Amino acid sequence: MNIELSGHYCYSRIVRSVLPSIGMVLVTSIYSIVDGFFVANYAGKTGFAAINLTFPVIMMIGSLGLMIGTGGGALVSKIKGEGYPEKANRVFTMLVQFGLALGTVLGIVLAVAAPKVAQWLGADAPMMDECVLYIRLNMIGMPGFVLQCAFQSFYMAAERPQLGTLMSVVAGVTNIVFDAVLVWGLGMGVTGAALATAAGCLVGGLFPVFYFSSRRNKGTLRIIPTRIIWPYIGKACTNGLSEYVGNIAMNIVTICYNLQLMRHLGEDGVSAYGVVMYIAFIFAAVFIGYNIGITPIIGYHYGAGNVQEQRSLLRKSLTIIGGLGVLMTLSAELFASPLARLFVGYDEALTNLTIRAMRLYLLAFLICGWNMFVSALFTGLNNGLVSAIAAFTRTLVFELACVWLLPALVGIDGIWLSWGIAEVLSLVLAGFLVFRFAPQLIKKES
């Protein structure tokens, strides 16, 4: 079933349109957590700490695909809205080619630099070998990972979001099966977890290339013979810069959290934070999926010049996201204990630390969804600069400042509260950016 970008969007149509994207990102987030579950329970907390320490760097490379896909998806949707479907196909093809090449080159570079990267991340002697191993084996799947992140937005631009959900399920099942066989069955620990992740990424990233090139493709985008025209690549990357900056900043902040936690709590602090981040990934996946689904819709109506529909999408999105934020925060507070025990129940002290961390850290979900949406809104409006400012300031300025300053003022709890305080500051900035750079969406026509 296709989902058209044109026409008016009521609440129910918005929900139907974004649900496949939410499902796609949720599945991806869940299977990326599977490594942690198997390693934590069957390889011990040293291996668990090692994959949590190195995961941010792997995500920093993979998020280039999110930049290409989100910015490119909005650009392609805008071109379709302007009435140029063949041009949209050419730009789409260029971006897929660019993503594949970029993932391959950077995967090789990071594999070679793995020992230095692990040292820079603060890995101690017991964790060093496992950190290097996890990075290098994950690089096998890096070309697929970059494309998998890119296609998350392209599925919606092609009006085939259900295909994205299906591919996420297939890739997730691949990862889970390999994890069960290699980590649990064969006792391969971190090695098995890394190979399982690489396998899932290759399936999730490379199969869509074949699909969009085939005659079975029923979407409105297809891969066709074309040469790369770099201004289009530059426009897409600039437009999606906010998503890349946001992910880079988030992972830099994660590295800083780990450094602070290693300093104050050691290996247990990193393990507790790893569990908290897994739950945060699942919750954030709902907002990320919503934004992936709504951005091409906003981009289409921006290209078509339909300001009234853009205004309606903004109002309805803020309402939906606000309700989801309340639901997620309540869930985190109620289920913190069983979720912590699922991962680290073998260590009572670590479990108690994780429960408190979760209850403080995840309070940020009350408002973080609005801040994430404002960045996506400007991406849809093809204003990558303002979108990047919102994402960059939110994480790399506000949250980074909080994670270094608050522990000195209120102790360990300051680390867990850093994200929430940063989101409050970001909400003020987000409101200013909308009023300053998108007043047509706030002020009704007289």
Q: What is the predicted pLDDT for the residue at 445?
A: 52
Q: pLDDT tens, 297-328?
A: 898 888 888 889 999 999 999 999 999 999 99
d(CA 122, CA 112): 18
Average pLDDT on 324-340 reads 92
Q: Which carries the bigger pLDDT value, residue 222 or residue 55?
A: 222
Q: pLDDT tens, 381-438?
A: 888 788 888 888 888 889 889 988 998 888 889 989 999 999 999 999 999 999 999 8
CB 186 within 8 A of CB 129: no
Q: Enter the tokens of residue 24.
A: 């796609």
Average pLDDT on 40-66 reads 81
Backbone CA torsion sign across 200, 253, 291, 276: positive
Backbone CA torsion sign across 158, 162, 166, 168: positive
CB 266 within 8 A of CB 44: no
Tell the burial category of 425 from Cβ atoms under 10 Å away from its Cβ (0-12, 13-18, 19+). Answer: middle
* pLDDT band for position 5 (cuts 50, 70, 90): confident
Q: Enter the tokens of residue 227.
A: 């040469």
Q: Which carries the bigger pLDDT value, residue 35 or residue 107?
A: 107
Q: What is the predicted pLDDT for the residue at 446?
A: 42
- Residue 101 neighbours by CB under 8 Å, 6+ apart: none
Q: What is the predicted pLDDT for the residue at 320?
A: 96
Q: What pTM was estimated for this model as a whole?
A: 0.71
Average pLDDT on 111-125 reads 86
Residue with tokens 């988030």, as numbered in its chain: 250
Question: How does the average pLDDT of the chain come out, rounded?
Answer: 87
CA angle 354, 357, 362 (to 5 degrees): 120
Q: What is the dihedral of CA 22, 201, 195, 33, to 10 degrees?
A: -10
Of the listed ranges 202-216, 234-248, 317-331, the least confidently predicted one is 234-248
d(CA 66, CA 103): 12
d(CA 352, CA 244): 34
Express as a percent the part of the chain with pLDDT over 90: 37
Q: pLDDT tens, 120-129?
A: 887 777 788 8
